[in-house]
């Protein structure tokens, strides 16, 4: 977000925190020092308003308001950062990528996907001009919501050596995992949790993947855009997966193995 040039993708699943991630990301930028313009093709934006971000709306179905009409006029003002939430208009993306390259500016796009690598492939699936768009790519921020264990009633247990091995945690590094409170043998002894109402979870947080797009990934996107190839290159570049980030939260007692499995199964 601190970059001054290139294209950043923000991605997620519907109803899984994408709007919040998008809004928080924009609010984390230096909007007081740079000119930001939010571009919403096809109707009004669903995202909350962000201070110091100008909003430009246009309807591709209205004569004179297609992306080829509206965006070139905007480019003449030379905004520092262009933001396109939930766009599926390949022509708009192509025009923005050309502007980013030509003027050495930045753009932020959001789109739905199951993980950061799939987000790159979904971008190409929109039939954008790959030779124009791919060289501008800088990274993908992908997130999913996950429930937090209730601090008042969560229960500690000792993980087995086998479980720690499956999770890639050295034996002895973590002494306890946590889970929802287990029901007592005698139901009469059960005292409902007043904080979570016996749900076992209270509040939510998020796990994120941050995939930095390097030259190897760009080359593969242009010549060999296959999921397994891109995943391998992402791992070689040091990208951490949602599972790895989730395991950190499990080790810290923030959430449970069961909840992480639920989130990753989506």
Q: 167-195, pLDDT tens digit by residue?
A: 999 888 899 999 999 888 888 888 899 99
pLDDT at position 183: 85
Q: Which of 60, 54, 57, 59 is nearest to 81 (CA)?
A: 54
Please state, in angstroms and rounded to a whole number, the distance separating the CA atoms of residues 83 and 22: 10
Contact 115, 141 (CB under 8 A): no
Contact 39, 66 (CB under 8 A): no
Q: Which of 194, 56, 219 is nearest to 137 (CA)?
A: 219
Strands (E) in the chain, as ranges, are 6-12, 36-41, 53-58, 81-84, 106-112, 137-149, 155-157, 177-179, 201-212
Question: What tokens appear for 38 in the block?
Answer: 């939010």
Please state, in angstroms and rounded to a whole number, the distance separating the CA atoms of residues 25 and 38: 13
Sequence-separated (6 or more) residues with CB below 8 Å from residue 185: none
Please state, in angstroms and rounded to a whole number, the distance separating the CA atoms of residues 170 and 164: 7
Please state, in angstroms and rounded to a whole number, the distance separating the CA atoms of residues 48 and 108: 16
Paired sense of beta strands 155-157 and 177-179, if any: antiparallel
Q: Which of 21-30, 52-61, 136-145 has the lowest mean pLDDT?
A: 52-61
How many beta carbons lie within 10 A of that of residue 175, not counting itself? 8
pLDDT tens digits along 101-130: 999 999 999 999 999 999 999 999 999 999
DSSP 135: G
Residue 64 — pLDDT band, cuts 50, 70, 90?
Answer: confident
Please state, in angstroms and rounded to a whole number, the distance separating the CA atoms of residues 230 and 241: 13
- Whether 47 has a pLDDT exceeding 80, the answer reads no
Please state, in angstroms and rounded to a whole number, the distance separating the CA atoms of residues 55 and 218: 31
Please state, in angstroms and rounded to a whole number, the distance separating the CA atoms of residues 252 and 246: 10
Alpha-carbon separation of residue 76 from 5, 67, 103, 123, 172 (angstroms): 17, 14, 10, 26, 60
Which residue's structure tokens are 């809004």? 23
Model's pTM, two decimal places? 0.89
Beta partners for residue 83, in sequence order = 38, 108
- Whether 254 has a pLDDT exceeding 80, the answer reads yes
Alpha carbon of residue 33 to chain centroid: 25
Please state, in angstroms and rounded to a whole number, the distance separating the CA atoms of residues 170 and 191: 36
């Amino acid at each position: 977000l601190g970059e001054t040039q290139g294209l950043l993708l923000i991605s997620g699943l519907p109803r899984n925190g994408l709007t919040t991630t998008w809004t928080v990301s924009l609010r984390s930028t230096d909007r007081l020092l740079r000119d930001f313009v939010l571009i919403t093709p096809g109707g009004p934006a669903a995202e909350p308003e962000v201070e110091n971000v100008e909003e430009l709306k246009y309807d591709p179905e209205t004569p004179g308001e297609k992306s080829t009409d509206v965006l070139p006029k905007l480019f003449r003002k030379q905004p520092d950062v262009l933001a396109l939430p939930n766009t599926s208009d390949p022509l708009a993306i192509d025009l923005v990528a050309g502007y980013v390259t030509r003027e050495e500016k930045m753009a932020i796009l959001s789109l739905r996907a199951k993980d950061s690598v799939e987000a790159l492939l979904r971008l190409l699936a929109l039939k954008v001009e790959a030779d124009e768009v791919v060289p501008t790519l800088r990274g993908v921020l992908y997130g999913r919501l996950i429930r937090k264990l209730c601090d008042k009633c969560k229960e500690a247990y000792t993980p087995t050596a086998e479980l720690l091995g499956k999770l890639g945690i050295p034996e002895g590094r973590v002494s306890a995992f946590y889970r929802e409170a287990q029901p007592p043998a005698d139901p009469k002894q059960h005292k409902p949790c007043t904080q979570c109402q016996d749900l076992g979870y209270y509040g939510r947080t998020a796990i994120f993947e941050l995939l930095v797009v390097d030259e190897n990934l760009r080359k593969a996107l242009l010549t060999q855009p296959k999921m397994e190839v891109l995943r391998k290159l992402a791992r070689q570049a040091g990208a951490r997966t949602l599972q790895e980030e989730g395991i950190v939260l499990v080790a810290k007692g923030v959430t449970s193995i069961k909840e992480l499995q639920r989130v990753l199964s989506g």
